[in-house]
Amino acid sequence: MEEYANLKRGERGAYLSIIAYLGLSTLKLVIAFIAGSEALRADGLNNATDVVASIAVLIGLKISRKPPDQNHHYGHFRAESIASLVAAFIMITVGIEVVLNALHKLIENETETPNMLAGYTAIFSAVIMFGVYRYNLFLAKKIKSSALYAQAQDNLSDTLVSIGAFVGIIGSQLGFTWLDLIAGIAVGLIICKTAYGIFRDATHTLTDGFDSKEIKQIKKGMGKVDGVEEVKDIKARLHGTQILVEATILVDPKLTVEEGHRITDQVEDYLGDTFGISHTHIHIEPYK
């Protein structure tokens, strides 16, 4: 099936992120120790935890590819959303640690001027991560993967984090030694903000939340299908990348069972062609 093939393609983005994060986190932590930069250290720790988050996303994508079984009649697509949730918890944990550590040093006035090597490392990392972000965003939109989209947003936040670290290091070079710590705090806050966004989207999906504007569009379109007198009720939810729709439509009570069934087929074809919805349950009632 196409959705399983898409999940397989989505694993490329997770692998790319893992490789990039492993290399960059090692580079940043080593250079941060040598150059004495709190901002770059925070950036490196961020990437180190991103390795774990990326592995969680990869595992989620692999589990999602498992076909339906006796205990999972709808398949395992929601493993993607669970993976996103795990990634969010990991990110917010490290974000809080980074903020508290930098605040402690700022209060204790433990400031120092980092070597410019740290600045070069930060801007190099920003360029690399922006490239990874663009690739994962393109892939996430193409295969409609929530976990990979969360991964792409994390990539973007990492790009901004590295730019923030670079600014702080440059400021320290100009004599504002506290800027390196301020940049470290900013890094932590960006991590927390991104984690909250991913957590919000994942929990919205896992609790069967669905965009009210989109469901209105679906309902309006269904009402235009030939033979549908009225759409009495409609519900929709996300199951990983798949949209599941349940609806009750009213039709002419004089129609035969075969004619009513033909209308439901037309509704299902319309939903598939227009909205890419392949999982529907249509109930028919007489129009009075």
What domains appear along the chain, each with residue ranges and CATH number? 2-206 (1.20.1510.10), 212-286 (3.30.70.1350)
Q: Is 253 helix (H, G, I), strand (E, B) or coil?
A: coil
Residue 236 CA to residue 246 CA, distance in Å, equals 6
Beta strands across the sheet bearing 279-286: 230-239, 242-251, 279-286
**Predicted model pTM:** 0.66
Q: Is 91 helix (H, G, I), strand (E, B) or coil?
A: helix
Average pLDDT for residues 3-8, to the nearest whole number?
A: 58
237 DSSP β-pair partners: 244
**3-class SS at 145?**
coil
Closest residue by Cα to residue 197 from 84, 53, 64: 84
Instruction: For residue range 8-42, list pLDDT tens digits in order.
Output: 666 777 788 888 889 999 999 999 888 888 778 88
- Tens-digit pLDDT profile for residues 48-67: 877 877 777 777 777 777 77
Amino acid at 218: I
Q: Distance of CA 270 to CAs 19, 27, 152, 184, 242, Å?
A: 42, 52, 31, 51, 16
Q: Is the pLDDT of residue 274 over 60?
A: yes
pLDDT per residue as tens digits for the range 129-164: 899 899 888 888 877 776 678 778 878 888 888 888
Beta pairing partners, 231: 249
Contact (CB, 8 A) for 78 and 146: no
Nearest-5° Cα angle at 158, 157 to 160: 65
Residue 126 pLDDT class (50, 70, 90 cuts): very high
